[in-house]
Chains A and B, each alone.
Chain A
Amino acid sequence: MTLTDESFAYDNFESIFRQILQDLGITRSVLAFRIVADPQAPYFLISVRLGRARSAIKVADMSQLNTHTGGTAITITDEAWAPALLNKLWQKYGRDRVEQLTRFEILVRGAELEEVSAMELDPGEELKAKVLDAVWRLFPEGFTVRYNIVDDRAMTIIGTEHDMSPQWVNVAQMVHKEMQVKEAD
């Protein structure tokens, strides 16, 4: 570890990360996190214990579906899911076929009602993307050589400026294992 006292840096990085999580609205979805940094190596590591994302939801459960002459019309009833729904529709049908008529109404051209109705939105992916965003906001700029370990329970990312040393990867794996079984803070 370092010869100098880096307690200021640790405290500061912790408060920065908490602030970022709050900005992104995912404070409750991150159960715990740990930051390890060795400025003399140098590497920076962050491991995050992911909380449970909202359970998957079918499109039919968050909106009303009607057959339309041009395809299927969707009326969103729970707006919180609207961005995820739009993303999913764009991925499946392409932007040309998805028309947003109003804030709550979407028309998908040439799509079967049953097909749209059975689609599932996966909030786990959305959560991971947000946590990753928070991690990139926190990471020191310039530490672009990265190694990451991701599973359903935890996400560990280590970064450095030059070559990644196998010892640091070992540290990352150790911290990741600890984080997988860690209880919420």
Chain B
Amino acid sequence: MYEVLMYDGGVYRVNELYELVEDVGGFVIQKTQIQVQILVTMAVPEEERPSIEAKTRELGGKIVNVPLAGTEVAVVAPTLGRHHMPHPTCDIAEQLRRLGAITVVMGLARGKGRRTSQISADEKAIIEEYDAAVFVLGNFKDCILEHKIHLFEDIQTPVVAVCGPQIPSLPNCEAIVCGVGRKVERMRREEEIGRLDDVSVAIEKVVKDKRRVLEEDPLFVHPAEVKDRITELEPVQRSLRPAPVVLHLDGLRVKIPYKEWKDQIADVQVYGHRLGDIATISDSRLGGSTLIRIKTQSEVEDHDRRKTS
């Protein structure tokens, strides 16, 4: 299984690290250079971690654990009004970002109220594009148990619910973190930081479980390999959007319009295959983005077999 690590060090002889990553069969996911300092996020086979660590020591850098790198997580609040917890919502998103995830904060169009709160099919479809979702709920136990759980009733993506009162278990979600509730200030106190850690532990577990399921029938190529090829496309290089290519556990999101570029994306060559043959390419609900879901090895083999027969 691949492990995602982040190298934090200088640019001096960093090429040796890139070469080693390539030699052990890993990929560089992202490089962020600030003058002579560089952060390199990479995916390497689990068993090769010691050799990467040895090289890091040699270069005078350090390895930072980023268990959520290569994932995109949605943090959902009933609305983004000041009544609906913008503070905890932002703090949770920031916490997940520090662990390597790309996060989006989302408010529902009609999430306010108790009996009137709703989620539309469109909003559910948007949330399902992400690897996991965190729903940030409020103070009243009765409100959460009777009404708010319907917000994430039919969502296929794993959900972690965050709320105020102590609730032992909730239906329709993978994990629950209690003790947050509504706040009008940032989460700075020790116990609040502890709650943020609980949220990240819950998401890490969800991501790990999803990775394990994927390992049973591995993807034909790792999304990071596809990213390398996709980044060479001209519209991606011209894109001014932050993180134009975002990794998912089972594919990637490319922030260029689907209608205009679907054919060029499908024609990208990966290990002698057209990307269109080894992945499902579709329009993203987010607008101006394309979703790529990489097929599993068995799906591609099956496809190849049918083609030759």
Binding site for B on A (CB under 8 A): 2-6, 8-9, 12-13, 16, 19-20, 23, 37, 39-40, 42, 137, 139-143, 161-162
Q: Is B195 an interface residue (CB 8 A)?
A: no
Query: How far is it, in angstroms, between the C-alpha of A8 and the C-alpha of B178 when the chains are bound?
Result: 11
Is the CB–CB distance between A142 and B141 below 8 Å?
A: no
Interface residues of B in 124-150 (CB under 8 A from A): 138-143, 145
Of B81-89, B96-104, B259-267, B274-282, the one with at least 4 CB within 8 A of chain A: B81-89
Interface residues of B in 146-170 (CB under 8 A from A): 164-166
Number of interface residues of B (CB under 8 A): 27
User: Contact check: which of A5, A8, A19 meets B139 at CB < 8 Å?
Assistant: A8
Instruction: Report chain A residues within 8 Å CB of B165.
Output: 5-6, 8-9
- Determine whether the beta carbon of A19 is less than 8 Å from that of B114: no
Task: Tell me, rounded to whole Å, the shortest Cβ–Cβ distance linking A7 to chain B.
Answer: 8
Give chain B residues whose Cβ lies under 8 Å from the Cβ of A140. 83, 113-114, 138
Q: A6-B142, A9-B141 are in contact. Are A141 and B164 (CB under 8 A)?
A: no
Is B269 an interface residue, CB under 8 A from the partner?
Answer: no
Subset of 10 A-B contacts with CB under 8 Å: A4-B145, A8-B164, A12-B139, A16-B184, A37-B140, A40-B142, A140-B114, A141-B83, A142-B114, A142-B116
The yes or no answer to B30 lying at the interface (CB within 8 A) is no
Main SS at interface, chain B: loop
B185 at the interface (CB under 8 A from A): yes
Which chain B residues lie closer than 8 Å to A3 at the CB level? 142
**Closest Cβ of chain A: how far from B82's Cβ, in Å?**
7
Residue of B nearest to A142 (CB): B113
Let me know if A12 and B117 touch, CB within 8 A.
no
Docked complex Cα distance between A137 and B166 (Å): 25
| B13 in contact (CB, < 8 A) | no
Residues of B contacting A16 in the complex (Cβ-Cβ under 8 angstroms): 182-184
CA distance A12 to B83 in the complex (A): 13
In angstroms, Cα B144 to Cα A39, docked, is 10
